Amino acid sequence: MHSNDNPIKILVISRNPLMADFLESVLDPKKYQVSMINPTPEEIASTRRISPDLFVIDELDSKMDVLTVCEKIRQYSGMPIMVLSSARKAGMVEQVLDAGADEYLTKPVPGNLMIAHLNTLARRARAEKDAALSIVQGESESCGQLGLLTY
């Protein structure tokens, strides 16, 4: 099965369930599957098991929380991270991007702009998954042509 047949899994990390509800209401459910966790250490650790295609970090309590969450995700995942925040502290955007975020949008952000950024990140996530899949399939085919046992 080609990975384009599966919806992009978006994991919202937020204290506000309205963000996940908003994304579920505006995104095509055939293309996107939205779930949400609270930003607790236990739930952040569970994201490794969930293996989403895209992370949305929405308005955590402090800059340090966002930085910590980005850094923890980057320890095991290269999937895109979007941060949404209303904080306007000097240097915050740069610090969050340096911690591993791919996008930083300052609230209030128009819904259509946020969706456009999500679509861009989703295309990147899909392309990376497709590239990884084609590498694995290519290695498997090469092994088969060489008469090597593949599992």
Residue 39: per-residue pLDDT = 87
Q: Where are the domains of the chain?
A: 3-145
Q: Place domain 3-145 in its CATH homologous superfamily.
A: Response regulator (3.40.50.2300)
Band the pLDDT of 147: cuts 50, 70, 90: low
pLDDT digits (tens, 9 = 90+) for 33-53: 999 998 888 888 888 888 899
Secondary structure string (H, E, C) spanning 15-55: CCHHHHHHHHHHCCCCCEEEEEECCCHHHHHHHHHHCCCEE
pLDDT digits (tens, 9 = 90+) for 12-25: 999 888 888 989 89
Residue 116: per-residue pLDDT = 94
pLDDT value at 66 more than 50: yes
Residue 63: per-residue pLDDT = 58
**pTM listed for this prediction:** 0.82
Q: Which residue from 102, 106, 101, 66 is spatially nearest to 86, judged by alpha carbons?
A: 106
As a whole number, mean pLDDT of residues 113-136 equals 86
